[in-house]
Amino acid sequence: MRFKLFDLSGRLALVTGSSQGIGFALARGLAEHGAAVVINGRDETRIADAVNVLRTEGHVAQPSSFDVTDQISVQAGIERIETEIGAIDILVNNAGMQFRSPLEDFPADKWQMLLQTNVSSAFYAGQAVARHMIARRAGKIINIASVQSELARPSIAPYTATKGAIRNLTRGMATDWAKYGLQINAIAPGYFKTPLNQALVDNPEFSAWLEKRTPAGRWGNVEELVGAAVFLAGEASSFVNGQTLFVDGGMTASV
């Protein structure tokens, strides 16, 4: 029997951008703790594959394809889930992207793309889901931030700006919505082995730097984010609001 504070049985979780990488790991982890999960993305084939994997493992999973960077698409997608699948108890705003370039040469179109994918998507989905949660006087929203919410590195200044925005959007959501019984928090991953970071994982020089810079001495594995997500999604975090939990092997604690 699952410990009650971390038992997600009977709850429905929507994880955006969850057909692979961190999003899929979080969806699987929430499902392992009893939640039914909705897999979201834009690539219907990838979504279907992810759903099939979870169902094969015995979990309850449903697909939902909509573009989180488009407000109309998000609103329609959320309404379909609420009407056809069930009330969303947990929202994980995971969708994100990265683009690297020296700041002086950073393309304006990529800047806009980062803003839409990393920030606007969380605002659109958060607002659309919160309207239903407010009516029910309960709900959990988990935004995926980053160590770059706190730190910067060369060539990713715009990404750093978007993740700093996510940290403060989390605070703002909590400030506005805690009075309705919602808890809104963020997880800030350090450097994890994901498709988004594959080029860095494959770079021996960067990996050597990372292992030296991180007190834990290694890359993170995506499964190591699940505990934080389950904590923030369950009753254990009933009085935790507006916080950012860094899961980074000690990187932001060390100079």
The per-residue DSSP string of 158-184 comes to: HHHHHHHHHHHHHHHHHHHHGGGTEEE
**CA–CA gap between residue 167 and residue 1 (Å, rounded):** 34
In a domain, 178, yes or no: yes
In a domain, 16, yes or no: yes
Range of the domain at 30: 4-248
Average pLDDT over residues 86-97: 97
Domain count, the chain: 1
Average pLDDT over residues 156-184: 98
**CA–CA gap between residue 89 and residue 106 (Å, rounded):** 39
**Tens digits of per-residue pLDDT, 102-149?**
999 999 999 999 999 999 999 999 999 999 999 999 999 999 999 999
**Which residue matches tokens 């703002």?**
172
The residues annotated with a catalytic role in the active site are 159
| Mean pLDDT score of the chain | 96
Question: What confidence category does residue 199 fall into, taking pLDDT thresholds of 50, 70 and 90?
Answer: confident
CATH of the domain at 72: 3.40.50.720
Q: What is the pLDDT of residue 197?
A: 84
Q: What is the pTM of this model?
A: 0.96
In a domain, 20, yes or no: yes
Question: Residue 127, Cβ neighbours under 10 Å: how many?
Answer: 15
Backbone angles phi, psi at 139, to 5 degrees: 165, 155
